[in-house]
Amino acid sequence: MSITSKPVKGFLLDITGVMYNSDPGTIGRLIEGSVEAVNRLYAESAVRFVTNESTRSRKHLFEKLTRLGFTLKEEHIFMPVPEAKRYIKDHGILKEFEDLDTSDPNCVLLGDAELGFTYETMNAAFRVLHETNDPLIIALGCGKFYQRMDGPCMDVGGFIRALQYACDARVVITGKPDEQFFKAAVDDMGLKADEVVMIGDDIVSDVGGAQKAGIRGVQVRTGKWRQSWINHSIKPDLLVDDLRSAVDMLLKKTIN
């Protein structure tokens, strides 16, 4: 589907690397023009935010974005934790211990932890999985890396692979690039997948994931963008400098 084949009635936005860049020790740095771009989307279109972040609660992320200068609604932020909770509930994983007792665990939930990924914590998770007959990892996204101001940083995906290999576990991905995750945000706008674009800095999780869900994928040249992705097997529907350019181009196209 070409970026111009159908009017764009709604936008899904990745947060980190698109709206701001993370920077250790600070709340992060705004990407120029992104506050105004989000304001335009609220005024002239529809917008939802889809992120795999899981270190903090949605409330915490909402407050951080507000401090950075964004005006948005907390309930428009989609994060994988609630979806993972639903999976655990739907599959009766918690049936045996409805009081949420974690003293006898039977699966491992893996999300952002960054400095929490020590040998001890990884090994504790490994031992839980190693003990079970059908080891299951529920992952909050499976990103390869993300971009911080001080350089690229390993994301949760690698650590999932580490545990998966060590104990031959099954992996269920919640969050991007899982199709259901995108669909939930599209449904919330009352739109159809082909009426929406996803704007992100990750060629696999954002652009590829959206395209698999029938959503057009826009790649920005901010955040973790790499020049070598020009030759990536995943081809974005649109490649732009940043969120502002994407919004300028696509709102114009929509109105004309």
CA-to-CA distance for 201 and 205, rounded, in angstroms? Answer: 9
Our CB check for a copy of itself shows the closer of 69 and 116 to be 116
CB 209 within 8 A of CB 177: yes
Q: How far is the CB of 114 from a copy of itself (least distance, A)?
A: 6
Strand stretches in 56-177, DSSP E: 77-78, 108-110, 136-140, 145-148, 151-154, 170-174
Q: How far is the CB of 115 from a copy of itself (least distance, A)?
A: 5
Q: How far is the CB of 14 from a copy of itself (least distance, A)?
A: 18
Token digits for 193?
A: 């997948």
Our CB check for a copy of itself shows the closer of 231 and 256 to be 231
Q: How far is the CB of 203 from a copy of itself (least distance, A)?
A: 12
Q: How far is the CB of 125 from a copy of itself (least distance, A)?
A: 9
Q: Report how far Cα 131 is from the mean position of its chain's Cα atoms.
A: 31
Q: Residue 18, SS3?
A: coil
CA-to-CA distance for 144 and 151, rounded, in angstroms? Answer: 14
Binding site for a copy of itself (CB under 8 A): 114-120, 122-123, 126-127, 130, 144-145, 151-155, 157-159, 161-168
Our CB check for a copy of itself shows the closer of 163 and 218 to be 163
Q: How far is CA 101 from CA 81, 96, 110, 121, in A?
A: 18, 9, 18, 19
Q: How far is the CB of 106 from a copy of itself (least distance, A)?
A: 16
Our CB check for a copy of itself shows the closer of 56 and 127 to be 127
Our CB check for a copy of itself shows the closer of 70 and 159 to be 159
Our CB check for a copy of itself shows the closer of 122 and 191 to be 122
The dihedral through the CA atoms of 63, 69, 74, 80 has a sign that is negative
Instruction: List the beta bridge partners of residue 109.
Output: 138
